[in-house]
């Protein structure tokens, strides 16, 4: 890739990227590719090398990187690292926009937003829904939350990375959306890993069961919009699949797993939850009722 020409560079806002792990490197490379002047900093300075070869300016310290751009993007391992880095130059950050794309909890994001407010910093939190190789591609996107004006001002720049989905002024919301998706993914992962284990226990090759399981899980994901409507309306009665029918079938599922020598540990809590729903009089309701029971404001 060739470095952008001076005329290209002048047209695009400068971006500083702090943290050049796998993800930070992909972010910085995407900004460079799109013609933004990019300044990079990383704790281990050697990692700046490939980006500098592509046209980035290396910064010796976080303060030097912050001073170079109005938009400061951080992608470090954890939010404690972010706070340590920001604490090195609070006075320089005043009036700038920090977009923190580090993975963390909603509470951590809100703490960082409160810190930013005290120091006159415009704070955005981000949840990246992509792996590094997807950045700038058609399927990558990032949830953003926090300072609305700062998002609007930098939205075009953020779109270099993929989709830019602003989800609210509460700085914790990007993380909440991120984890809502990740929790769905991990739930699916653990379910289908049990599918593979069950097949394996019976000597069925994984490749024979993988296709049907994928088809089934994909079809079942189609229930989500209906469950969402039920939750938002508070009307859970279903003509599709009731709590009662699922509660009656679950022992068969547990006995099948146990009979094949496959762990039942992950599904026992589901049995307990369905039993609880029955005891509370929700037998005719759809499984969306379980989301009400799982949440503290149920």
Cβ proximity to ligand FVH: between 142 and 257 the closer is 142
Report helix, strand or coil for 43: coil
Cβ proximity to ligand FVH: between 43 and 148 the closer is 43
What whole-number distance in Å separates Cα of residue 110 and Cα of residue 1? 38
Interface positions, 189-218, toward ligand FVH (CB under 6 A):
none
Residue nearest ligand FVH, Cβ-based: 21
Smallest separation (angstroms) from ligand FVH to the CB of 10: 29
- Among positions 81, 201, 264, 271, the unique one binding ligand FVH when judged by CB under 6 A: 81
Per the document, the length of the chain is 298
CA separation, residue 191 to residues 40, 126, 203, 266 (Å)? 41, 28, 19, 9
Smallest separation (angstroms) from ligand FVH to the CB of 189: 15
CB 110 within 8 A of CB 173: no
Question: Residue 168 CB: number of other CB atoms within 10 A?
Answer: 15
Smallest separation (angstroms) from ligand FVH to the CB of 127: 8
CB 285 within 8 A of CB 238: yes
Q: According to the binding rule CB under 6 A, does residue 72 interact with ligand FVH? A: no
Q: According to the binding rule CB under 6 A, does residue 132 interact with ligand FVH? A: yes
What order do you get walking across the sheet with 141-146 strand by strand? 57-58, 38-41, 15-18, 71-74, 97-100, 122-129, 141-146, 163-166
Q: Sketch the per residue contact string, 10 through 49, with ligand FVH: x for CB under 6 A, - otherwise.
A: ---------xxxxxx-----------------xxx--x--
Residues forming the site for ligand FVH (CB under 6 A): 19-24, 42-44, 47, 75-77, 81, 84-85, 102-103, 128, 131-132
């Amino acid at each position: 890739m060739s470095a952008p020409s001076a005329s290209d560079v002048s047209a695009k806002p400068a971006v500083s990227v702090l943290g050049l792990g796998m993800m930070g490197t992909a972010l910085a490379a995407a900004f460079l590719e799109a013609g933004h002047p990019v300044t990079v900093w990383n704790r281990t300075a050697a990692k700046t090398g490939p980006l500098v070869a592509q046209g980035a300016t290396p910064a010796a310290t976080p303060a030097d990187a912050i001073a170079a751009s109005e938009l400061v993007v951080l992608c470090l391992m954890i939010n404690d690292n972010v706070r340590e880095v920001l604490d090195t130059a609070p006075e320089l950050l005043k009036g700038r926009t920090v977009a923190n794309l580090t993975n963390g909890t909603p509470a951590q994001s809100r703490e960082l937003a409160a810190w930013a407010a005290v120091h006159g910093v415009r704070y955005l939190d981000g949840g990246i829904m992509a792996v590094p190789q997807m950045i700038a591609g058609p399927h990558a996107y990032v949830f953003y939350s926090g300072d609305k004006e700062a998002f609007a001002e930098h939205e075009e720049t953020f779109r270099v990375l993929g989709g830019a989905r602003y989800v609210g002024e509460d700085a914790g919301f990007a993380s909440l959306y991120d984890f809502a998706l990740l929790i769905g993914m991990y739930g699916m992962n653990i379910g289908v890993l049990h599918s593979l284990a069950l097949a394996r226990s019976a000597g069925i090759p994984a490749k024979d069961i993988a296709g049907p399981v994928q088809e089934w899980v994909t079809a079942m994901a189609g229930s989500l919009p209906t469950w969402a409507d039920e939750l938002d309306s508070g009307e859970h009665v279903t003509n599709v699949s009731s709590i009662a029918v699922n509660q009656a079938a679950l022992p068969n599922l547990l006995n099948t797993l146990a009979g094949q020598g496959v762990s039942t540990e992950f599904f026992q809590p589901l049995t307990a939850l369905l039993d609880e729903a029955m005891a509370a009089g929700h037998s005719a309701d759809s499984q969306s009722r379980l989301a009400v029971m799982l949440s503290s404001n149920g």
